[in-house]
Structures are given as C-alpha cells and as structure tokens.
Structure 1
Amino acid sequence: MLKKTPTGTWMPAWVPETTVPLACLLLVCSMVQSSTGGYDGSMLNGLNILPSYLDYFHLNAATTGLNTASVFIGGVLGPMPAGILSDRLGRRPTIFWGSLVTIIGVIIQTAAQNIAMFVVGRIILGFGSAITGVAGPVYLSETFPSRWRAWGVGILNDFYYVGALIAAGITLGTGQWQSTWAWRAPSLFQGIFSLLCIIILPFIPESPRWLVHQGYYDEARIVVAQTNSDGKLSDPVALTVYKEIVDTLKWEKDQGHTMSPMEMIRTPTARKRFLIGMSPGPFSCIAGNIIASYYLGDELDTAGVTNTTAQLQANVVLNVWCLFCCLAGTHLAAQWGRKSTALLSEFLLAVCLFIIGGLSKLYAENPAGASSSLVYGNVAVMFLFQGFYSIAWTPLLYIYPPEVMNYSIRANGLAFSSFALNGLALVFVFIMPIGLANIGWKMYMVNASWDVVIFGLIAYFWVETKGKTLEEIDAIFDRNKHSDVPDVEMVRSGKGRVDVQALEKELGASQGVSQG
C-alpha cells in the first residue's frame, strides 16, 4: 500500500508503508541514475569503433577527443549549481530537473547534423547528469538506513556497468546498419534511464536530514520511520536515528554552520572533511581507467587486437566482468571497510598498469613478430585492471564522500568532488588519444606512478566509516558525538537501550511541536 507523505517541496510523494519495498524503490532510483553515465562511456567506446560514426563527422584524433570529452564540459559546469540547488530546493526536485535536462541533451545529441550540434547536445547531457550525480548520492546517503547504505549508495555507481553493458550490446547490434542510425539509435536509448528516474521519484520520500534542517520535523520523523521500521514512529531504532539527526543538525546550527559553499573551508575540521571527502573524485579519475572507459579500441590496438568486431565483442565482455567486480567490491566495502577496499584496489591497479606498459612496449617494438600469447596476455591484464578498478572506485566514488562530509558541506562538498572529477576527466579524455598516439605504452607507466602516490595518500589520510550512521561519523572528526542516544546498531542489536517515552518528551519539548 502507498501512503501520501509530506515532502516539504512542490513534489508530492506516495510512499510504500513498509521498509523493504521502499528500500527497493530507492535502489531502483539509484540504479537508473548511474546507468546513464555507464551507457555514455560504453556507447562512445562503441561509436569510436564504428566507421559510420567516424565517417559521418570526418573525425581525426582531436575531434574524436572533442566529441567524446564534451560531456565533461557539462560535467564541469553542473556540479556547483547542483550542490546549491540540492540544499535550497530539496534533493528530489533537484534530481527531477537534472534528469529532465539530461533528456534534452540526449535528444539534441541524437539529432546532431554536425560536430558542433553533437558537442552541444553532449554538454547539455553532461550538465544534467552532473546535477543528478550530486543530488542522487546525497539523497540516497541521507535516506537509506545505515545498515543498507553501502549497498544502497554503492549500487548508484555499480549500475554504471549495467548501462555500459546495454550500450555495448546495442552498439554491437546496430554496428552492422548501413545508415546514420547505427550511431543515432544507441544515442537515443540513452534517455531511457533519466525517464525511468522521473517516473520513480513520486514514490520515494524526501531526505529526512533535509526536512529536519528546513524545520519539517513531523515529516522527517515519518520518513525515518518509513525507512527504518515499517512506518512505526515509536520504534526504538527509528526514534534513535531521528534523535541523532535532530541533535546533530541542531548542534551544527548552534555552532554557526551555514549552507554556504564557503563552509567547506571555514574551520580546520571542515577543511579536513572536505579534502578527504572530495578525494575519491580526482583519485578515481587519474587511476588510469579512462583509457579503457572511452578508448578501448585504441588500447586494444596497442595490444594487437585490431579487428572491429573483436573490439566490440571485447567491449561487451569487459562490462560484464566489471559489473561482477564492482558488486564484489560493494560487498567488500560493506563488510571489510571503505579504506581497506580502496587500498587493495590501488595496489592491484599499479601492478597491472606496470605490466600492461611493459607488454605494450614489447608489442610496439615488433608488432609483426608478436606472439599470440603476448597479445592475449596483455588483453587479459587490461581486463584485470578494469576489474580491480571497479572493486573500489565504482562503489566508493559515491559511498565515501557523503559519509565523510557533514550536513552543512555534504551537497557542496560532493559537488566540488564531482567538479574536480569532471574537470580532470575533461582533460584526460581529450588528451588520451593524443598521448596514446605519441608516447604509446609510456602512458600506462605514468598512470601507474600516480596510483602509487594515491595509495600513500589513502593510507595516511582516509578514515573508516563502515557501520556508522552519518551522525556517528561526525564523532570521528569532532571527537565527540552530538547526541546522547546510543549508536543505532547497538540499539538494533539489543546491546543498547533507549527510553522511548523519555525521548518522546525530550523531542516534544525541544521542538515545541507534537511528534506523535
């Protein structure tokens, strides 16, 4: 059964009365958002192999880079407005507007008559995707209960590979068409995910943290109960979660915290949280995966696999492999921890890149005499690399930043992380085909060196956030918890107890409103 739930915004909501169906809807919302980005990367991988696309636009190395990288121009422009809009309009309305802009970009890209129109469409598409890419993770991290947050938010980027797999299959199928629809059809299908997201939004509630911050206490308490205890307002777990949120946001306001972007650098603690929280964006971008994410054809060329059909088939297999790895990585992040998973991944990435560079060098020195074992050994390590990347960076890119940053800087902090990610991606996606054409195997060695540096930074600076609510993570940075209730998992497991009636009275007295 669906229950009309106040949202504090212009967007109404009819939410399932029980927690599990609601969690499933939140998961679906997460899945369809991330699929757009994965679809885009895999689609361009396919298009950059298709003669019908290359010949239509008369592409060279520079214009190929421009067509591919232009989505990141919008990706650079979108995040900062997204952070501000998420705080002012609400999380759900911001996701709605971002999805709508994405659909407009897809339509222009599909109808492109020349490079300029294609680039404009991709800029608009990137702008809309960047907005949902900020509002979505913030919304899901604030709405999912802590016990499911790693999976709920991790899936947000894990389904990048579902979108990528769909795009790989579509481009493989349309690649034989003898018309411009060989590339227009895959482009048009990209809008389906944003449309599905818009359809789902009326059936999920607004973020309880946003509602509390706006003063909608009754509405927030209803959402906490819906997401934690099948709508039972006085359930001890739901009441503990709600009390943590109210106390922590009250503390932030009492300390003079504002929603201004300048809040990210106002205090030493804020700067520390901001720098650690935004680091997954740049770290994931310079890890080395951009080569295979957007220029798999060029990468396979350096390894000796030059047949177009073989490259398209490799694109499909690669995305299946990466989907499996990122789901395994999400499990590791949930059970083993965020920091440990990141360290494991970075170590394996550096090893793989050094091996790929060495094998590519051997092939480049004697392409005609290269053995099949050298060629396929290199391809195998390339696949391993993408899998190891997916283990950590695919889920952690959106799990970790919202956890580390407190409410006052969460949306703007994630926006800056996304800005840095897209800014670096814009540069790297543009220069990668040029770099591969000019220095070949040395590009892998450069990326491997970066991964060694990233490993050291993670080991020294990152903190572990596994198993804690967003408010309990504050205690890691502020050295004390801002609420007097036990930790939620202790209450859930029966190791901690709360006096429900006393909390009811305390909340009613502090807010001056009925919470029943």
Structure 2
Amino acid sequence: MLRKTSTGTWLPAWVPESTLVLSLLLIMCSFVQSCTVGYDTALLNALNIMPAYNNYFRLDAATTGLNTASIFIGGILGPIFAGMIADRLGRRPAMFWSSLIAILGVAMQTAAQNIATFVVGRIVIGFGASASGIAGGVYLSESFPSRFRAWGVGSLNDFYWIGAILAAGISLGTGTWATSWAWRVPSLIQGLFSLLCILILPFVPESSRWLQHQGYFDEARLAVAQTNANGNISDPVVLTIYQEIASALESDKECKSSIGEIFKDQILRRRFLIGTSVGPLSTVVGNLISLFYLGPELSIAGLTDSRAQLHINLVLNAWCLFCCLVGTYLVTSWGRRPTALVGQSLLTTCLFIIGGLTKVYADKGPNGTSNSLLYGNVVMIFLFQGFYSLAWTPLIYLYPTEVMNYRIRANGVAFSSFMLSSLTLLLVFIMPIALENIGWKMYIINGSWDVIVLLIVVFFWLETKGKTLEEVDAIFEKGRQHSNISNIEARRGK
C-alpha cells in the first residue's frame, strides 16, 4: 500500500517520510550488537564481582575465564556466515535472523542450571550479536544520510556504553540478592535489544546499495530519496548520490571479492588490510582488563570491597559513554586518523602508569601504601578507559565501512569482527590467570603492544573524513571519480 507524501512522491505506507525520523530508526535497529555486547561486558564484569553468581557455579580462575570468554566463541563463528548472508539475503533479513538467534541465546543463558548450559547460551548470543553487528554496521553505513554518516555510524558503537550502563545499574540493584535471580534478572533483560531491532525493521528501507547491486534500480533510487531528501526522488542531492552509487557498483562488477582475488589485487589488498586492522587493533590495547575483570583489577590495586567495585563499574561505564560521544565529535570534525593517534598515545601512557602504581602497591602491601596511591590508580583506570572510548569506540564500525568498497565491505567487516572475537576470546580467557600470576607486569606487557599499535596507525592508516563511500575510492585509486557531479554538499545548498 502506497501513500502520497508532501513532496508529491509515493512511499510505502509503513516507511516514515521524515528523513530525521527515518535516521533515528536506522540507528535504533542497527545498534543491537553494540548494545548487546556492551550490556554483556558490564554484566559479566558485575557477575564476576557478585557472590551469588560465583557461589552458584562454584567458579575458579579457569571457569571464570570460560564463562566470560565463551560469548566470543560465537563471535568467531558468526562472521564466518554473516558477510555471505548479508550479501545474499540483504542487510535487513540478516539483522532479523541474527537478532532472533541472539534472543534464543539469552533464554538459554538465563535458564542455565550449570556451567555447560550457561556457556552454550553465551556462544549462541555471541553468534547472533556478531552477525547482527556486521549486517547492522554495513547497513547503517550504506543507508544513513551521507552528510551525517560520520555521526550516525560513529555513534553506532557508542551504544555499547548505553548497554553497559544499563547492565551495571541493573546488576547494582540485584547484586545484594541472595538467590540466583541476582544474575538471572539482568541476564534476561539482555534480550530486549534484539527484540527492539525486530520490531523496528519493518519500518526502515533496505540498503540502497544492496538494492542497486541486485538490480532493483527503482527501489534503490527511492531508498536514497527516503534517507536523504524526505522521499523526493528529484532532489539534486539524491540524483548525485544515486549516480555515484550506480557508477561505483557498475565498476565493481569486474572485481572479485574472494579472499584470494582480494590479495591478488594491490588496491583491494591495501583497502582490506587497513579496514580489517581496526577490529584486532582495538582488542589488544588493554581495555579488556577493565571491561571484564574490573573487580580483580581493583583488588590488586588495593580496593577489595565488592559493593564499592559495583559502584565504580557503573560510574566507569557512564564516564566511557561521555568520552565516546566526545570521540564521535572529534572523528567527525577533526578526522579519523588524528583522533586515533592522540587517543592511542594517551591510553598507552596511562597503561604504563597503572602498571607502575600497581607494582608499588604489590611491593609495599596494603599497610605500607596510602589511600592516595589507591585513588590515583582508580583515576588512571578511568582515564585509560576514557581515552580508549574516545579513540576506538567510534571507529570500530565507522572506519572499516568507509575504507572498504561495496564488493568487500560485508566480508571485510566480517573478517575484522572475526579477528576481534578471536583475539578477545584468547585474551579474556587468559586474563584472570595472568592477573593472578604476574599481576602488574600485565600492564607493562600490554603497554608495549600499544606502542606497536600506534606505529601501525601512523604509517598505514589514511584519512576518510568528509567523503562519501564512493569518493573514498579516489584516495586508493588515484583520482577515480564515479560521477561528473562533484561536491555533494555544494549541490545541497543550491
């Protein structure tokens, strides 16, 4: 059923006419993975502090690592299929089915009576959340209004901290309960994000680039008009964007997207390696310690009260949300590469300082150190997480989708997510064992890796600020242009 809009065009009855309303819906249905994983991170951080959870499963260092890291087993499996499904079925169907799988995993985790069921449930959540994140990140980058893409896609991973704040707050409220519902209630609420995505999907259009690639040309043109000009197909900006999309996809038809073909082509290889570097680099910088094991981290720093640790968990997540919003502003106004360089430099410095302060406490013990050392360590943990949120949180979905072109975008984002989950699985599993055995040395080792990460950004990353997805091609392909109408923003003002 169609309806006539105020601009004289016809749209499906369920599609919002307002570009602003549609943009908000696009963000809300795409934020499932970041919210789910952010919620999960703060949830497990809180559960690892919570006596009711530890006593129920009778956890030691190894089983704590297994329970916490198991979501990333699913995070490894999801990307293997997610890119292919998003390319073949479409971005929206991929998000629907992955959200449904995540809800099934939440149900299993909540009802778990033993470690095995709990772990399997978390693997299923990881599968669904990672697949949803790949489809959602690609979908949002391809569908969001071009002039606001940096804000829209950059804020996608900011929802990580909204989910984290909700989990920390809910866990703080249930943390004093003596029964297993202390951890089951916050676990159950984790499924609401996927449910919300399923409810919103009927009200948003499919990716215009996917429609164009599949040969649905009229639908693709209409999708561009819906997301950029309130459904006005004759708008000059719509004509410009659509022409660039059509031209770019026509050029890409000759391009093979298999891994073998990508590595044979020098330009594609460069785009693939730069784009997929974001996931693994963002994982090894040291943030996983505070994300999943804040309790042990605070304990070896001298703060052992579980209630105080839960309060710090909540405040830390709120602080990170503020910092990632600042980071989203910076990547939009300042640029992707400068923001990454400054944030990475500062967080590396913080990590070495945390290692030094923790060593002092380990050498002198609780009786030989003052409260100022403890407070200083907590402050540095906050600063480290803040700089990470500023530099990496907005870039995880924004930068890969900009650097890679349509033919390799879905599979490239999937590979980046695969590497992120693989490294996270390894690091999260060994983290409690490492903290127990080498303590403060963990920070020094991680800080050394961070210097290497900084050098990779310095020498290999390129700036993509202020360009459409098709205009980024010119950076890699020496001036290639997909339309004879340049400067979209200038056209918008006419």
Q: Normalising by structure 1, what TM-score? A: 0.92
Alignment of 1:116-515 (within 5 A): 116-253=116-253, 256-367=254-365, 368-479=367-478, 480-494=480-494
Question: Which shifted more, 343-352 or 30-39?
Answer: 30-39
Shift of 1:3: 5.5
Separation in 1 of the partners of 2:329 and 2:258?
Answer: 35
Structure 1 residues 357 and 178, CA, compared in 2 at 3 Å: closer, same or farther?
same
Residue identity in the other structure for 1:379? V
Structure 1 residues 173 and 484, CA, compared in 2 at 3 Å: closer, same or farther?
same
Shift of 1:4: 10
Shift of 1:13: 8.3
Shift of 1:459: 1.0
Residue identity in the other structure for 2:332? A
Deviations 1:182-210 (A, max 9, x none): 01111101001100011011111100000
Structure 1 residues 87 and 155, CA, compared in 2 at 3 Å: closer, same or farther?
same
SS in 2 for 1:258: coil
Residue identity in the other structure for 1:381? M
Shift of 1:369: 1.3
Partner of 2:9: none
SS in 2 for 1:118: helix
SS in 1 for 2:70: helix
Structure 1 residues 154 and 13, CA, compared in 2 at 3 Å: closer, same or farther?
farther
Residue identity in the other structure for 2:14? W
- Assess if the C-alpha contact under 8 Å between 2:2 and 2:13 holds in 1: no
Separation in 2 of the partners of 1:468 and 1:222?
Answer: 22
Structure 1 residues 2 and 325, CA, compared in 2 at 3 Å: closer, same or farther?
farther
Q: Normalising by structure 2, what TM-score? A: 0.96
- Assess if the C-alpha contact under 8 Å between 2:137 and 2:153 holds in 1: yes
Separation in 2 of the partners of 1:14 and 1:378?
Answer: 53
Shift of 1:351: 0.4
Ranges in structure 1 where 5+ consecutive residues have no aligned partner: 6-11, 495-516
- Assess if the C-alpha contact under 8 Å between 2:146 and 2:228 holds in 1: no
SS in 2 for 1:394: coil
Shift of 1:34: 1.8
Separation in 1 of the partners of 2:488 and 2:181?
Answer: 53
Deviations 1:335-354 (A, max 9, x none): 00000110011000110001
Residue identity in the other structure for 2:403? V
Separation in 1 of the partners of 2:300 and 2:309?
Answer: 12
Partner of 2:60: 60
Separation in 1 of the partners of 2:279 and 2:13?
Answer: 32
Partner of 2:8: none
- Assess if the C-alpha contact under 8 Å between 1:263 and 1:409 holds in 2: no
- Assess if the C-alpha contact under 8 Å between 1:472 and 1:487 holds in 2: no
Residue identity in the other structure for 1:388? F
Identical-residue share of aligned pairs (%) = 63
Partner of 1:508: none
- Assess if the C-alpha contact under 8 Å between 1:3 and 1:14 holds in 2: no
Shift of 1:486: 1.0
SS in 1 for 2:232: coil
**How much is the aligned-residue C-alpha RMSD, in angstroms?**
1.5
Separation in 1 of the partners of 2:485 and 2:244?
Answer: 7
Structure 1 residues 359 and 490, CA, compared in 2 at 3 Å: closer, same or farther?
same
Ranges in structure 2 where 5+ consecutive residues have no aligned partner: 6-11
Deviations 1:265-319 (A, max 9, x none): 2301111000000111011000100000000001111211100000000000000
Shift of 1:33: 3.9
Structure 1 residues 98 and 229, CA, compared in 2 at 3 Å: closer, same or farther?
same
Residue identity in the other structure for 1:65? G
Residue identity in the other structure for 1:370? T
Shift of 1:374: 0.3
Separation in 1 of the partners of 2:3 and 2:320?
Answer: 38
Separation in 2 of the partners of 1:94 and 1:266?
Answer: 29
Shift of 1:260: 3.6
- Assess if the C-alpha contact under 8 Å between 1:87 and 1:259 holds in 2: no
Residue identity in the other structure for 2:190? Q
Residue identity in the other structure for 2:432? P
Partner of 2:18: 18
Separation in 2 of the partners of 1:13 and 1:165?
Answer: 36
- Assess if the C-alpha contact under 8 Å between 1:225 and 1:231 holds in 2: yes
Separation in 2 of the partners of 1:432 and 1:4?
Answer: 58
SS in 2 for 1:322: helix
SS in 1 for 2:142: helix
Shift of 1:246: 0.2
Separation in 1 of the partners of 2:204 and 2:455?
Answer: 40
SS in 2 for 1:17: coil
